[in-house]
Amino acid sequence: MYFSKLFVPTSKQDPSDAELASHKLMLKSGMIKKTAAGIYNWLPFGLKVVKKVEDIVRKNLDLSGAQEILMPMVQPAELWKESERFDQYGKELLKFQDRSDRDFVLGPTHEEVVCEIFRSYPMSYKDLPINLYQIQTKFRDEIRPRFGVMRSREFIMKDAYSFDIDPSGMEKSYEIMKQAYISIFNDIGLEYRIVKADAGNIGGDVSEEFHILADSGEDLLAISDSSEFAANVEVLEYDKDPTELDGKPSPDGKGKLSVKRGIEVGHIFQLGTKYSEKMNVKIKDAEGKEKTLFMGCYGIGVSRIVAASIEQNHDDKGIIWPYPIAPFHINIICLDPKRDEILKECKNVYEILSKAGHDVLLDDRDIRAGVKFGEHEMLGIPFSIVIGPNNFNNSKYEFSSRTEETKTELSIDEIKHILEELK
Cβ-based nearer residue to ligand ATP, 146 or 365: 146
Query: How many residues sit close enough to Mg ion to count as binding (CB under 5 A)?
Result: 1
Cβ-based nearer residue to Mg ion, 34 or 178: 178
Residue 297 binding result from Mg ion, ligand ATP, none, given CB thresholds of 5 to 8 Å by partner type: none
Cβ-based nearer residue to ligand ATP, 158 or 372: 158
d(CA 22, CA 362): 25
H or E segment and range at residue 355: helix 340-355
Residue 152 binding result from Mg ion, ligand ATP, none, given CB thresholds of 5 to 8 Å by partner type: ligand ATP
Smallest distance from ligand ATP to CB 299, Å: 3
Residue range at the interface with Mg ion (CB under 5 A); choices 147-155, 180-188, 266-274, 279-287: 266-274
Smallest distance from ligand ATP to CB 181, Å: 11
Q: What is the DSSP string of 101-124?
A: --EEEE-S--HHHHHHHHHTS--B
Strands 318-319 and 314-315: antiparallel
C-alpha dihedral over 277, 281, 286, 288, to 10 degrees? 100
Residue type, 21: A
Q: Which of residues 309-338 bind Mg ion (CB under 5 A)?
A: none
Residue 142 binding result from Mg ion, ligand ATP, none, given CB thresholds of 5 to 8 Å by partner type: ligand ATP
Residue 389 binding result from Mg ion, ligand ATP, none, given CB thresholds of 5 to 8 Å by partner type: none
Cβ-based nearer residue to ligand ATP, 274 or 304: 304
Whether the bond between 327 and the residue before it is cis, its omega within 30 degrees of 0, is no
Residues that bind ligand ATP (CB under 6 A): 109, 140, 142, 151-152, 155, 157, 200, 202, 264-267, 299, 301, 303-304
Give how far Cα 166 sits from Cα of 106, 180, 292, Å. 31, 21, 9
When asked if residue 158 is in the footprint of Mg ion (CB under 5 A), the reply is no
Contact 364, 4 (CB under 8 A): yes
Residue 166's SS3 state is: coil
Residue type, 120: S
Residue 236 binding result from Mg ion, ligand ATP, none, given CB thresholds of 5 to 8 Å by partner type: none
Picking from 134, 269, 147, the residue whose alpha carbon sits closest to that of residue 209 is 269
Residue 54 binding result from ligand ATP, Mg ion, none, given CB thresholds of 5 to 8 Å by partner type: none
C-beta nearest to Mg ion: residue: 267
H helices of 189-336, in order, are 274-278, 302-312
H or E segment and range at residue 40: strand 39-42
Residue 326 binding result from ligand ATP, Mg ion, none, given CB thresholds of 5 to 8 Å by partner type: none
Is 91 buried (19+), middle (13-18) or exposed (0-12) by CB count in 10 A? exposed
Cβ-based nearer residue to ligand ATP, 75 or 303: 303
Smallest distance from ligand ATP to CB 387, Å: 40
Residue 131 binding result from ligand ATP, Mg ion, none, given CB thresholds of 5 to 8 Å by partner type: none
Contact 116, 79 (CB under 8 A): yes
Residue 215's SS3 state is: coil
DSSP β-bridge partners for residue 133: 68, 160
Smallest distance from ligand ATP to CB 269, Å: 8
Smallest distance from ligand ATP to CB 149, Å: 6
Residue 362 binding result from Mg ion, ligand ATP, none, given CB thresholds of 5 to 8 Å by partner type: none
Q: Which of residues 202-261 bind Mg ion (CB under 5 A)?
A: none
Smallest distance from Mg ion to CB 200, Å: 6
Cβ-based nearer residue to ligand ATP, 27 or 362: 27
**Exactly one of 267, 314, 358, 372 binds Mg ion (CB under 5 A); which one?**
267
Cβ-based nearer residue to ligand ATP, 143 or 286: 143
Cβ-based nearer residue to ligand ATP, 35 or 97: 35
C-alpha dihedral over 59, 61, 63, 68, to 10 degrees? -90
Residue 85 binding result from ligand ATP, Mg ion, none, given CB thresholds of 5 to 8 Å by partner type: none
Contact 252, 229 (CB under 8 A): yes
d(CA 164, CA 298): 15
Give how far Cα 423 sits from Cα of 382, 389, 418, Å. 13, 31, 9
Cβ-based nearer residue to ligand ATP, 24 or 329: 24
d(CA 88, CA 418): 54
Cβ-based nearer residue to ligand ATP, 155 or 321: 155
Residues in contact with 238: Cβ distance below 8 Å, sequence separation at least 6, in sequence order: 244, 245
Binding site for Mg ion (CB under 5 A): 267
